[in-house]
Amino acid sequence: MSIAERIKAARRSAGMNQRELGAAVGVSATAISKYERGEVVPGSGTLIRLSEALDVNIDFFFRQITVHLSAPQYRCHRPLTKKEEHIIHAKVTDWLERYLEIEMISGIRADLDLPPREECRASGMEEVEAVASRLREAWDLGLDPIENVMDVLEQHGIKVGTIEAPDSFDALTFYHDERTPVIAVNTAMSGDRQRYNCAHELGHLLLQVEHPLDEEAAAHRFAGAFLVPREMVWKELGKKRHAIDLRELYLLKHKYGMSMKAWVRRALDLGVITGVTAKGLDARLNQVKAGKEEPAKAVRHETPTYMHLLILRAMNEKKITQSRARELFGGDLPGIAAGAE
């Protein structure tokens, strides 16, 4: 990616138009347009002002690694505007470039460990359940709650990152270099929604859905089965229930990191409750919801740690400086105070 392309990408990430950026830098909108078309290369002083206005490190304009989002698949509550798409694309691109750079510096990369495509074919929900069950077994997850879904995915070669984005955006999935799956998740969501979205996108990556099964419905079923296996649903709720208290669902939500609404859906899918009971529970949940979030304490946000650990390792092995570590991380590393080298 050229300097011109990087100026444009950074401007879009900042949600600014050319006139706004020109005013912040002290040049005309026409000058910004020429920079972005590559007709004029900004001098060092202008680049410094651009980096300050766009809140990026000046090294961003000279970064050698380039990422292109190939056929990204969105998970959103509503269609995104073009401006929102540009912001999300730019943020994801910047994060993944930094990720790939620290992998190159450290010489470490997690191998992709996904089951063969033929083992992920599904034409019915029972086959979807089986795919989720086999994956948990292959990844040695057992039946217990998964502590950090993002870390599990990263341990098996799927790159996962979190970005600040509009509330309507949940997640984005695509392939880097046509081989490596990448999932970007909104930091603004509660932890249970982040976990479910990761599991849902994992379902889309794995499942080879065949007629007459609906792909989206299959991904939902996979997400529930991956987060809470059938055996644990029966253990926690029993195989047949005429009624369930919201307090039960609240406790299970925090035990397994899966929302109360998703628990209702899971219980319905497995025949633990009837459609009438599920509808009643959904209605009660809607009555006590605060906006998009469920009542009472939220599940804590998840953070992927793989990239963070690579940066710390490279810094402690003197492969990068502390300021370079902050640049690669995208800010101060948690637990590390900003300061001199």
pLDDT digit string, tens, across residues 226-271: 999 999 999 999 999 999 999 999 999 999 999 999 999 999 999 9
What single-letter amino acid sits at 94?
D
pLDDT for 1? 73
Average pLDDT over residues 155-165: 95
Helix (H) or strand (E) holding 172: strand 169-176
pTM of the entire structure?
0.85
What does the alpha-carbon distance between residue 222 and residue 218 come to, in Å, rounded to a whole number? 6
Q: What is the DSSP letter of 292?
A: T
Identify the band that residue 338 occupies on the pLDDT scale cut at 50, 70 and 90: very low
Q: Domains in the chain, ordered, with CATH?
A: 1-62 (1.10.260.40), 117-288 (no CATH)
Q: pLDDT-based confidence at 339, cuts 50/70/90?
A: very low
Residue 167 has pLDDT above 60, yes or no: yes
Stated as kind and residue range, the H or E segment containing 126 is helix 125-138
Per-residue model confidence as pLDDT tens digits over 195-221: 999 999 999 999 999 999 999 999 999
φ, ψ of residue 271 to 5 degrees: the values are 75, 15
Q: Is 129 exposed, middle or buried (0-12, 13-18, 19+ CB in 10 A)?
A: buried
Amino acid 58: pLDDT: 85
Q: What is the C-alpha to C-alpha distance for residues 332 and 337, in angstroms, rounded to an integer?
A: 7
What are 173's strand-pairing partners? 73, 183
* Count of residues in the chain: 341
Cα–Cα distance, 302 to 192 (Å, whole number): 9
**Which are the contacts of 303, defined by CB distance < 8 A and separation ≥ 6?**
150, 162
| One-letter amino acid for residue 231 of the chain | E
- Neighbouring C-beta atoms of residue 295, cutoff 10 Å: 14
Determine the pLDDT at residue 340: 38
pLDDT above 90 coverage of the chain, percent: 74
Task: Write the pLDDT tens digit of every residue in 105-144.
Answer: 999 999 999 999 999 999 999 999 999 999 999 999 999 9
At 121, which amino acid appears? R
pLDDT at 341 over 70: no
Q: Tell me the per-residue pLDDT of 266-289, one tens digit each, with 9 for 90 and over.
A: 999 999 999 999 999 999 999 988
| Strands of the sheet with 180-186, listed across from one edge | 70-76, 169-176, 180-186, 159-163
Residue 263 φ then ψ, to 5°: -65, -40
Collapse the DSSP code of 180 into the 3-class scheme (helix H, G, I; strand E, B; otherwise coil) and give the result.
strand
Reported confidence tier of residue 4, pLDDT bands at 50, 70, 90: very high
Residue 161 dihedral angles phi and psi, to the nearest 5°: -140, 160
Cα 205 to Cα 115, 184, 201, 266: the distances in Å are 11, 13, 6, 21
Name the average pLDDT for the chain: 92
